[in-house]
Structure 1
Amino acid sequence: MIPRTDADELTEQPRIPLSRRRVLRAAVRLADRDGLDSLTMRRLAQEVGVEAMSLYHHVANKDAVFDGLVEVVLGEIMAAVEEVEAPSPDEDWQGALRARILAAREVLLRHRWAPRVLETRASTSPIFIAHVDHIVALLRAGGFSYELAHRALHVLGSRALGFTQELFQPDDAQSTDAAAAAMMEQMAEQFPNLVGMLADAVHDDPDGTLGFCDDQFEFEFALDLILEGLERRRTAGS
């Protein structure tokens, strides 16, 4: 047996104990790198370097992992929203809310799979409820009645978290340009107006998207329309 030396002890890396936080962070990393569909318990176990059975001490099943993903992403959103530089809502509620929503969107641009998970789980999360409470507080500081704040939440919808659910979205929102062109060619005769509009709207999006026709310009354009309309209602007292 070769005796251990002081150098061996110095270079040996301590084993990081498995925890729920470590498992969820690995799940986020795996989804970021390989997509949400790659996230299985077996792949997740490989990501953290353990047997799959070891995961069940920290997450009960895949649904629990997805709940945890929402927890992690919403936590990042809350941190981003709290740290963003924004005007005081009692002086400029539109600027304050706009800055916070765009900060939330920046988080989702790092985790492009997140909208798929948030759409099914966010509303039951205490962190999501806290996020909505902050938005209501901001609107109230900006002069909104509770009634108009309620309506504003309905109008904002998923934009409050930095993404939109589009009216028209192909089954594969990440389809290639060739596939999109083929789809439009097939639809052209039956739906000429829609295809003409989509063909006109095709453009390069170097920053990527969070969904079909949800690039940064379109997102901000729609958000500004909403904020301007709400301001008109606020000043009209309705």
Structure 2
Amino acid sequence: MAPGQAASRRTPLNRDRMLARAVALADEEGIESVSMRRLSQELGVVPMALYKHVANKDELLDGMVDMVVAEIDAPDPDLDWRSAVRARILSARRVLLRHPWARRVMESRTKPTPAVLTYMDSTIAMFVAGGLSIDLTHHVMHALGSRIFGFTQELYDDPKNADGMSEAAARQMAETYPHIAAVATSRRHDTASVVGSGCDDQFEFEFTLGLLLDGVERLHRQGWSSSQKPTEAPLR
């Protein structure tokens, strides 16, 4: 028996310890490496021991998501609502960058976990505490979407970005789709982007978050409500 497994056997298994090891395993080797059998080997227990703490693999994944979301910084009560929301969302982004597998797991869930619901509830509370109406906050949450958890869901995730194109392919792209080519080659691309090879994802994320929060602040000052059509929001 390996020394690590012997130590694991001497340490009582509990849900938090099991989930922490599952998260660490996913960080080290990817979410595909996480199985009940592999996790039991890591913890030095028989597979059935895990089922005292989770009913199945789905419940294990839910618990892993909750453990990751719990790492996001709590709201800072000393900041104004806009700065507080921005700081917390960027904290969520740092957490998702530490655990890149978590995004895919979150997207695969059909129901939000308790920690996810708590995070969403406290994020809504930050807007409300800033004086935003529930009506406006409802639409803001839709607009932010996955950004409240620190990532964006890109329409296309094509690893063949502009920097990796051959000269001939780039020339053909420019001839066939001149406007796409102009935008695609306007900045260098980031192969380590959290959403896949593409633009500088951190810059794009913060740029879009800033635009959204600027717009929310403007609508809040104007007393906007959903009784107005979206196109009726005055641009001033």
TM-score (norm 1): 0.77
How many angstroms apart in 2 are the aligned matches of 1:124 and 1:161? 12
1:159 to 133, 147, 150: 147
Shift of the 197–176 alpha-carbon distance from structure 1 to 2, 3 Å rule, reads closer
How many angstroms apart in 2 are the aligned matches of 1:180 and 1:60? 45
How many angstroms apart in 2 are the aligned matches of 1:199 and 1:45? 48
8 Å CA contact 1:81–1:101 kept in 2: the answer is: no
Counterparts of 1:154-233 in structure 2 under 5 Å? 154-170=142-158, 181=165, 185=169, 188=173, 191=177, 193-204=179-190, 208-212=192-196, 213=199, 215-233=201-219
Aligned to 1:65: 60
Q: Which amino acid aligns with 1:129?
A: L
Counterparts of 1:28-47 in structure 2 under 5 Å? 28-47=23-42
Q: Which amino acid aligns with 1:29?
A: A
Shift of the 64–234 alpha-carbon distance from structure 1 to 2, 3 Å rule, reads same
SS of the residue corresponding to residue 81 of structure 1 reads: coil
Aligned to 2:234: none
Shift of the 76–221 alpha-carbon distance from structure 1 to 2, 3 Å rule, reads same
Q: Which amino acid aligns with 1:221?
A: F
Note the C-alpha offset of 1:147: 0.6
How many angstroms apart in 2 are the aligned matches of 1:191 and 1:45? 52
Provide the aligned C-alpha RMSD in A: 2.9
Shift of the 86–163 alpha-carbon distance from structure 1 to 2, 3 Å rule, reads farther
Q: Which amino acid aligns with 1:230?
A: V
8 Å CA contact 2:162–2:189 kept in 1: the answer is: no
Q: Provide structure 2 residue ranges, at least 5 long, that are not aligned to the other structure.
A: 1-5, 225-236
Q: Provide structure 1 residue ranges, at least 5 long, that are not aligned to the other structure.
A: 1-11
Aligned to 2:74: 81
Q: Which amino acid aligns with 1:114?
A: A
How many angstroms apart in 2 are the aligned matches of 1:122 and 1:87? 35
Q: Per-residue CA shift, 1:133-158, capped at 9, x if unaligned? A: 21222112212111101111111111
Q: Per-residue CA shift, 1:85-139, capped at 9, x if unaligned? A: 5643xxx221111011111111111101111111233852222222222122211
How many angstroms apart in 2 are the aligned matches of 1:30 and 1:192? 45
Aligned to 2:95: 107
How many angstroms apart in 2 are the aligned matches of 1:192 and 1:36? 39
How many angstroms apart in 1 are the aligned matches of 2:21 and 2:12? 13
Aligned to 2:138: 150
How many angstroms apart in 1 are the aligned matches of 2:98 and 2:206? 18
Aligned length: 213
Percent of matched pairs sharing the same residue: 46
8 Å CA contact 2:27–2:100 kept in 1: the answer is: yes
Shift of the 17–68 alpha-carbon distance from structure 1 to 2, 3 Å rule, reads same
**Stretch moving more, 146-155 or 67-76:** 67-76
Q: Which amino acid aligns with 1:162?
A: G
